[in-house]
Amino acid sequence: MTNDHVTYEPIGTIHSPFESAVDMPIQPAGTDARGTVELRDAYAEGLADLDEFSHCILLYHFHESPDDAALSVEPFLDDRPRGLFATRAPTRPNNVGLSVVAIQAVADATIDVTGVDVVDGTPLLDVKPLVGAFDVPESVSDGWIADSDDAVADRRADDRFR
């Protein structure tokens, strides 16, 4: 970190069936889409033991998002403006994205996953194992999204954040 900036170098690429962010599933819950997480070959050793986990967390860069994030946005799942940090909108002050996906197989520098909701070619920043004791609270309240949960599976992205 220099001068209050953090610089990351993508460690690989997420491949998905989605060529465009428009008409893509909104979150993993909305899809069984298979994807492939391809790390650079040099990182293959770091994937050891990951196949014992059911899920992993992908952190990635929303590379198609513009740099001018609004702090109040109308999410795909709602019809009124919400505070940006109470949404998962892809255009943020830092365009970093997070998806929980199911691990199907790990081989060499590649993870086969299901539940992908990112555009093909998305730059990967990190992979972490999903750990129940760390990441899964006993009870979760979803705020405004609770009212729209039933709609997630049917909604698709549009161009509002492009």
> 102, 104, 110, 112: which one contacts a copy of itself (CB under 8 A)?
102
Q: Which of 17, 19, 23, 29 binds a copy of itself (CB under 8 A)?
A: 29
Residue 107 Cβ vs a copy of itself, minimum distance, rounded to whole Å: 13
Buried b (16+ CB within 10 A) or exposed e, 80-106: eebebeebbbbbbeebebebbbbbeeb
Residue 88: closest CA among 11, 30, 4, 16:
30
Of residues 110 through 149, those in contact with a copy of itself by CB under 8 A are 123, 125-137, 139-145, 149
Minimum CB separation of residue 114 from a copy of itself in Å reads 11
Please provide the DSSP assignment of 71-129 as one string: SEE--TT-SS-EEGGGS--S--SS-EEEEEEEEEEEETTEEEEE---S-TTEEEEEEEE
Q: Does the footprint of a copy of itself cover residue 107 (CB under 8 A)?
A: no
Binding site for a copy of itself (CB under 8 A): 1, 4-11, 27-29, 39, 43, 45-50, 52-57, 59, 61, 63, 71-72, 82-88, 92-94, 96, 98-100, 102, 123, 125-137, 139-145, 149, 152
